[in-house]
Chain A
Amino acid sequence: MIQISDLEKSFTLHNQGGAVIPVMAGANLSVAPGECVALIGASGAGKSTLMRMIYGNYLSQGGSILIDGVDVARAEPREILQLRRETLGYVSQFLRVVPRVPTVEVVAEPLFNVGHDRDAALAHARGLLARLNIPERLWSLSPTTFSGGEQQRVNIARGFAYDYPAMLLDEPTASLDATNREVVLRLIEEAKARGAAIIGIFHDEAARNRVCDREIDVTSFTPRAA
């Protein structure tokens, strides 16, 4: 499902003397449907960078990232947007809130984007919000003013609203209480069971051991200092 070969990344800081910082070289990774792979490595090793490259947020300097036949490293913006709508989901650590949109619509939006019936999508969103223990009186409000933990759960509900064949999870269980952590782990297990290919960053070791089939240490992708 996800096939990464010889991936390279460097940052060029034009406004700081043109410094070139190589951060990744020769990254190889493949994930099969129904498999969950954890990225590990110390802070700054490049876990988030790799996730952003897979999602098309960061450009790659070399190599390829094949997801369902689309090479994200070379695709046109509209191909990446289509991939993000239909194939590749991303649960980031922070919710990017659009002012004035009610929570239930924020969660249902990925379903609207693929043309699901509006009422069915909203019903599905309500179900997820209830599962993640967001009080019903908050559903019609914008999540702008919610607490950090609530925003994160809204973000997770949104990420799991549509059944993406491939998913990227950036610390999905961070800062959640035991009950909600359990709900999120169940959601991940259900996604695996329906055949989703998942790449995740989990600092929570117990969670990682429970849902992940393999670990990849991204330190091995770090280029040696010249």
Chain B
Amino acid sequence: MTPLLKVRDVAKYYGGRIGCTDVAFDLYPGEVMGIVGESGSGKSTLLNCLAGHLDPDSGEVLFDTRTEGLKDTVTMSEPERRMLSRTDWAFVHQNARDGLRMGVSAGGNVGERLMAVGARHYGDIRSQAIDWLGRVEIDEDRVDDRPSAFSGGMQQRLQIARNLVTGPRLVFMDEPTGGLDVSVQARLLDLLRGLVRQMGLSAIIVTHDLAVVRLLADRLMVMKSGRVVETGLTDQVLDDPQHAYTQLLVSSVLQV
């Protein structure tokens, strides 16, 4: 089986400071990988390097494109990368406002991504948008409201609908449940879990919440000071952590 994403020796420096370095892994179709670590450990830097938002200083990020097979997204042309980010990739931001167009209606937010890949029939776009709002549990009668009239949890679900409507193969998520209260988090997690399983998506989820990765991720990568200190099956890393930092992380979680 060909990996969907093949990452080799990715490094990013901010001046003399390490953003992330020596990162390498393969992600296979249908796999969900969690990246955990404290703030400043380089997990968001890494995610942005993988998703083409930041240029890594060295290394390769090979994506299994539909037409040409594995291709380095770092060196591919800008239009090509932009096409990928509109079709095969999706990026769910921590702050829904970064991933939505706040001045456009909810339906428009979902429809815009469809139009970007060539959909032109207004009726089809609208009915697909309504279908997706339903899947993320937003009532049909809110389709013409602007996201600014939505609660934080609804905005986050709208952002997910906007991202998944074009049937991406790889989803990047940066703290998708950060800043939401726990009952909204549970709903969102259950929703994400269902969508990921149904659509057979591969995903990379950055979070500092170990409960989130336990629920969503098949495997885990633990980062500290810009380096990967431990990788493995999610429940193995959480139940039998090997590295000193992971042991500290796991033992620091408060029991409810």
Contact = CB atoms under 8 A, between A and B. Distances in A.
A118 to B, nearest CB: 11
B236 A56 contact: yes
A77 B219 contact: yes
Given A13-B247, A14-B243, A57 B236 contact: yes
B61 to A, nearest CB: 20
Contacts of A59: 232, 236, 240, 242
B190 A15 contact: no
A98 interface: yes
Interface residues on B, range: 20 to 34
B76 interface: no
Interface in B172-202: 186-187, 189-190, 193, 197
B233 A100 contact: no
Contacts of B187: 99-100
B244 A15 contact: yes
Interface of A: 11-15, 52, 56-59, 77-78, 80-81, 98-101, 112
Contacts of B88: none
Interface string B13-57: 000000000000000100100000000000000000000000000
Contact of B218 (A12, A52, A77): A77
Contacts of B251: 15
A15 B218 CA distance: 26
B239 interface: yes
Contact of A80 (B28, B190, B233): B233
Contacts of B218: 77-78, 81
B235 interface: yes
Contacts of B232: 59, 77
B119 interface: no
B117 interface: no
B115 interface: no
Contacts of A13: 247
Contact of B235 (A57, A99, A112): A57
B135 to A, nearest CB: 15
Nearest to B248: A15
